[in-house]
Structures are given as C-alpha cells and as structure tokens.
Structure 1
Amino acid sequence: MERAKNSFNVATESPEEREAGNGRLQVFLSSFWASLGGVFGGYSNNQEEEEEFNSDMDSRVVVDDQPRDGGVKQKIVQAEGRNRRVLRDIGNLVNAQAQVQKPLAENVNVVIVGKNGAAKAKAKKGPVTKPKNEEVIVISSDEEDEIRKSGRKLRKASSKKPNKTLTAILTARSKAACGLTKKPKDPTVDIDAADVDDELAAAEYVEDMYNYYKLTEEDGQFYDYMDSQPEINSKMRAILVDWLIEVHKKFELTPESLYLTINIVDRFLSVKRVPRKELQLVGISSMLIACKYEEIWAPEVSDFMAISDNAYVREQVLLMEKVILGKLEWYLTVPTPYVFLVRYIKASVPKDQEMEHMTFFFAELGLMNYSTIIEYNPSKLSASAVYAARCTLNKSPLWTETLKHYTGYSEDQLVECAKMLVSFHAGLGESKLKAICRKYSNPERFAVAMFPSARNLLTV
C-alpha cells in the first residue's frame, strides 16, 4: 500500500517538485562519489572543478516534499551541503557528512586510458600553497649507519684529549730514567726455518735430538778423579790437553774428534789409575779411537807414534786402545760440548765467523782447565762460552730470548761459568801453555785470542 502511494506521488509530481527531486538525487550522487573518492584516493580530474561543483551544489535551493493533499509547501531553505536525507522513500539515510580525504600527492600524473587504448599522462595542478615543514624520514642502509656511527665516535675521540697530570708525567720520566719501564720482549727466532729443505740438517726432528742430548749428557759425564790418581794432577792434565790441541791441528782433524778425545781421556782416568809415564799414551790412544769414530780418513798408528817422538811402540798403542774401549764398554756416542756449541752458535748470530771462532776459543779454554770440565756439564759450558764471546764482542743484547729458548739457560745461570772462562782469557798471556793462544791468534780465525777480555764480567 505504501509503495502504491509513493508511485502515485511520483506520477502526480509537478515540474518544480521533479526538479527538486533531481537536485536531491544529484546531492546524493555527489556525496556518494565523494565518499568513494575518500576511499580510493579521489578520481576527480582537478581540484578546481571539484570545488566549483561543490560550491554550486551548496548554493542550490532544495524544496522538500509536499503532502499530496495539497498542503502548504515547505519553506525554501539553504541547502546544508551533503548532510541531507536522500531518497527517504527507500530508506537510504546519510546521517553523517562524508569525509573526503585529500589525495596522497597533489602533483602526480594521472593516467587516462582512451578508447584506442593509448595511455596519456596528465599533470595534476594543485593550488599554490606554501610547503609545510614536514619531517622527512630517510631510510639508509646499515653500512651508511655504521659509517655515520664510526664518524661520530672518531669525532668524539678526537675531541677528547687525554688529561695527564703533572704527577703522572714526572713518574713516567723517573721510571724511564731509572730503566724501570717495560721493554718489548725479543721475539724468538726459528733458527731451523732456513734448513727445511736440507735433508742433512734434519730440521723436522732436530729439536727432539737436542732434547735427547740434554737428557743423556749426564751419562757421558765423569766425577772428580784427581784424588784417585796418585801420580796425576790437574796441571799435568792441562799439559796433555794443550799437546792434544797441537796434534789435532797438525793432523787437520775435525772439531768433533778433539772434543771426543778429551771426553774419552777424562772418562778413562775416572775409572782407571794411570801412571804418569803412560798419560801421553792414553792421550794418543784416545785420539786414535776418536778419529776412527769421527773422521773419514783417520790417521794411522804410525802417525801417532811419530807425533809422540816414538815414545811408544805400535803394540803399546793398540793395547791401550783395547783397554780404554773395555773400560768404557765401547760407549762412545756421548753428547760432547761441541754438539751443543754448533746449536747455540746458530741461535746466537748465524753465519758470523768471528762470533763462531770466539766461542770455540772459550770452549777450548774450558776444556783445558780441569775445574770447569768437572763442575759444569757440556751444555752449560757451551752456553757459557757463547755468553762470554758475546760479552767480549760487545753484542747487544748479551743474551736474547732466542738463546734462552734453545739453550734452556737464563743469563743469570751462565754468569759464573762465563766469568771463569773470561779469567782464563785474561791470564792467557802469562800461561806457559800456548797452543790455544797460537791457534786462535791466526788471522784465519780472526785473531780472537788477541781481543781484550770482557771487563764487564771481570769486574762483576
């Protein structure tokens, strides 16, 4: 019934009422499209046309519906914009004013697709307004952030200057003057790095070899035997060693033969009483054994007989050789001082012949003196000879971390023995035993025997 009435009203509307209805319809459509424009960002071609349209619609008059019984028409009122009731006959009510959102960007290009499918770009012009001071968020990469942070840290670090007090400055100066400041440690040098490709150097297991020598050097050591020898004393032994050095030089033997010869003599005298008249026989027989062990071409028995001015016959030399080997139980592979000297010289200053000859000079002085050979084992005597040579040649530093590493001795452990060797050097001019002095006064050996003694050790 209500629908029939509405249909009848529409049919009997006057032109004015129909125009008013069209106005309401346009208001509804404009509000409807405006609400859609708020959702989708707006599809108006330009802002000027939209404002002109809204102002035109706001200025229009709207005539409300009149009752069909010919009642008095409603007053003409100014339109309230979009806050109106539209099509109340179907129940569509717009209760609130639609919020029209502004476009995200005013100056953007709107693409309009024509009938032929061609795309045309149309610039959208906006009103001339002053740009607002809006905060712009710049997204940068992590690397740029790290660079900025590091730059700030550097500026802060450079701006902050360390404040040193007068007390701290004076304390540092006093420590430096007294030598109390910590000096950088001397790094340990790998002395076998250059011999990796040398098969004879046995660089792979040379450390194990010398560790074994250090463990077994006590086996080749001997005790103080002078009290058990009624006819022999330390001076007679020194004379024998001095003569053996001369013989060794005459035969041009290797250094290993000399050190092994003296070791055999001392070990034999420590287990067997020897008359004074046979002491030289023990010496030449011991050198014969050492030469057979170390040399490629060993001297013959007749050579030793001749060098001793035929004081002994062939049978005596061979018999003494047999007795010595029996007493020593054929044990000849012992670490002599020479074994350690080669290693320690290499750790000191490699390929320095002056340093090498000076070290051998002190080592042979130690061999000739009975007190050093009894009191110190071969490794310590060799290390002390290196230290005494460095002191005599004014090497700096006197003892390095490399030497400490390879010898196993600190500087304090060697001072006493080195002082003894330097004292032998200082008294060499007054000694009657000149074999060592003549040997190392030769220019071929840099005349190291003629060097002044290390006074820093003599005055300690």
Structure 2
Amino acid sequence: MCEAYVSDIYEYLHNMEVHRRPIADYIEKVQKDVGINMRGVLIDWLVEVTEEYKLLSHTLYLIVSYIDRFLSTKVLNRKRLQLLGVSSMLIAARITIVAQEDYELSSYMQLEFLGYYLAELSLLEYGCLKFLPSMVAASVIFLSRFTLKPRAHPWVRTRGLNSLILIEKGSGILFSYNNMYSHLQNLALEQLCHGPRPV
C-alpha cells in the first residue's frame, strides 16, 4: 500500500535528520568554555543517572542529542553544563517512559547487547557527531552482525537498498568504530563496561 511512498518517506526522514543534527565540530567553533573532555564526563555521569533512575536506553540518546544540539547553537559557561544535562534529561524523560522493574537479562540476544554497546561508544565519542544518526545505526547493525557471524554477509538484501547505500556512504564511520573498538583499553570513561540498559 505505501510502497509508492517509500522513497519519499526516506527522503523526508533524511532531510529532517540533516536539518536537525548538531554541528560536528561545535566545541571548536561555538564553545569557548566547554571542552571535549567535559562533554565526555557529563555524558558518563548521565549514563549513571539514567541507570539509577531506570530510564530507557532511548532516553540517553535523546539526552545526548539535546545537549549536542543546544551546544551547537548557544555558548555555555562550564558552570552550567551539568544544568544543561539535567534539563535535557528532564525533557527526554518526559518523552520516554520509565523502564519496568521486572526486566530480565535473559530476554536479550547477543546481537542486541553488542549493538547497544557499539551505539553507546558513539555517544561518548565526540568525533562521531559528524555522522548522521541513521549511519551510526546502520553501522552498529552491520558491525554487530559482522562481529558475531564473520563468515555470513553482514547486510542482506531484505534490509533495503536505502540502508545498503547508508553503509556504503558510511565507510568512514565503520573505520571510526574499528578504531574505537580496537583501542577500548585507552578509553578512560568507565561507563563503557556497564553494558546495555533495558529497552
């Protein structure tokens, strides 16, 4: 029924994604008092807070998106950075729901664990801001499948031509993920070891 509109829908979503994304190098171009390390510490702290309050994993991605989009447009004093984080969390939590307490670890598959782990790496890595969220998501799926089943082709035709184009265009992000994945022991942010939260 909606096959005729698929390409229009993809085009609209892509345009909105490009229009609403943060500036990839906003810390160098916009911010005077906030640095890359401060952003990392703030996000690391927000990971702990979202776990403490049992917020959904999706909430964390919204929080980081709000922070980056705000910092792309407004100069912020470092003393107000944590306030921005808490405000972003409040807004994002209103949009998502609190996770159920009866969450069972056994309901997750290996692919989901690895996918969430790789996706969280992109949150902490300032350099990933230059990639569209759709490329990050497609790359996470691609790398998760490739890591778990290296002999099988990580991207099958049924995932659609538009997604395959994302992977071909996203070779830069695959390289970035490879670098992050290879040098995890050098990352000082302790939240990388905590694993995924409930969906």
TM-score range, shorter chain: 0.7 to 0.9
Displacement of 1:414 in angstroms is: 3.0
Displacement of 1:283 in angstroms is: 0.4
- Counterpart secondary structure, 1:361: helix
Write the deviation string for residues 175-203 of structure 1: whole angstroms up to 9, x where unpaired: xxxxxxxxxxxxxxxxxxxxxxxxxxxx9
Displacement of 1:290 in angstroms is: 0.8
- Higher normalized contact order (CA 8 Å, seq sep 6+, divided by chain length): 2
Q: Which amino acid in structure 2 is aligned with residue 390 of structure 1?
A: R
Distance in 1, Cα, partners of 2:110 & 2:2: 29
1:416 paired with 2:172, answer: yes
Displacement of 1:296 in angstroms is: 6.1
Displacement of 1:207 in angstroms is: 5.0
Alpha-carbon contact 1:387-1:414 (below 8 Å) kept: no
Alpha-carbon contact 2:146-2:153 (below 8 Å) kept: no
Question: In structure 2, do the counterparts of structure 1 residues 282 and 410 end up closer, same or farther at CA, with 3 Å as the change threshold?
Answer: closer
1:225 to 1, 26, 30: 26
Alpha-carbon contact 2:138-2:166 (below 8 Å) kept: no
Give unmatched runs, 5+ long, in structure 1: 1-202, 298-350, 445-460
Question: In structure 2, do the counterparts of structure 1 residues 436 and 241 end up closer, same or farther at CA, with 3 Å as the change threshold?
Answer: same
- Counterpart secondary structure, 1:273: coil
Alpha-carbon contact 1:222-1:266 (below 8 Å) kept: yes
- Counterpart secondary structure, 1:272: coil
1:430 to 160, 165, 186: 186
Question: In structure 2, do the counterparts of structure 1 residues 411 and 263 end up closer, same or farther at CA, with 3 Å as the change threshold?
Answer: closer
1:273 paired with 2:28, answer: no
Alpha-carbon contact 2:135-2:166 (below 8 Å) kept: no
Give 1:178-193 correspondences, 5 Å limit.
none
1:264 to 60, 66, 73: 66
Alpha-carbon contact 1:404-1:410 (below 8 Å) kept: no
Q: Which amino acid in structure 2 is aligned with residue 245 of structure 1?
A: V
TM-score when normalising by structure 1: 0.37
Question: In structure 2, do the counterparts of structure 1 residues 296 and 229 end up closer, same or farther at CA, with 3 Å as the change threshold?
Answer: same
| The structure with more radius of gyration | 1
Alpha-carbon contact 2:54-2:98 (below 8 Å) kept: no
1:289 to 78, 81, 91: 91
Q: Which amino acid in structure 2 is aligned with residue 284 of structure 1?
A: V
Moved over 4 A (4+): 203-210
- Counterpart secondary structure, 1:217: helix
TM-score when normalising by structure 2: 0.81
Alpha-carbon contact 2:155-2:164 (below 8 Å) kept: no
Distance in 2, Cα, partners of 1:257 & 1:352: 19
Distance in 1, Cα, partners of 2:98 & 2:195: 23
- Partner residue, 2:145: 390
Write the deviation string for residues 194-234 of structure 1: whole angstroms up to 9, x where unpaired: xxxxxxxxx96995896242231112112131122111111
Question: In structure 2, do the counterparts of structure 1 residues 410 and 290 end up closer, same or farther at CA, with 3 Å as the change threshold?
Answer: closer
- Counterpart secondary structure, 1:439: coil
Give unmatched runs, 5+ long, in structure 2: 100-106
Distance in 2, Cα, partners of 1:411 & 1:259: 21
The number of aligned residues is 186
- Partner residue, 1:248: 50
Distance in 2, Cα, partners of 1:439 & 1:381: 18
Distance in 2, Cα, partners of 1:230 & 1:369: 19
- Partner residue, 2:111: 355
Alpha-carbon contact 1:241-1:262 (below 8 Å) kept: yes
Give 1:19-168 correspondences, 5 Å limit.
none
Displacement of 1:405 in angstroms is: 2.6
Distance in 2, Cα, partners of 1:362 & 1:387: 11
- Partner residue, 2:158: 402
Alpha-carbon contact 1:245-1:436 (below 8 Å) kept: no
Q: Which amino acid in structure 2 is aligned with residue 258 of structure 1?
A: L
Displacement of 1:253 in angstroms is: 0.9
CA RMSD of aligned residues (A): 2.8
Write the deviation string for residues 226-258 of structure 1: whole angstroms up to 9, x where unpaired: 122111111211111111111111111122211
Question: In structure 2, do the counterparts of structure 1 residues 210 and 273 end up closer, same or farther at CA, with 3 Å as the change threshold?
Answer: same
Distance in 1, Cα, partners of 2:57 & 2:174: 21
Alpha-carbon contact 2:31-2:75 (below 8 Å) kept: yes
Choose between structure 1 and 2: higher helix proportion: 2
Question: In structure 2, do the counterparts of structure 1 residues 249 and 406 end up closer, same or farther at CA, with 3 Å as the change threshold?
Answer: farther
Write the deviation string for residues 328-383 of structure 1: whole angstroms up to 9, x where unpaired: xxxxxxxxxxxxxxxxxxxxxxx98211221121111112111112x111111111
Identity of aligned residues (%): 28
- Partner residue, 1:453: none
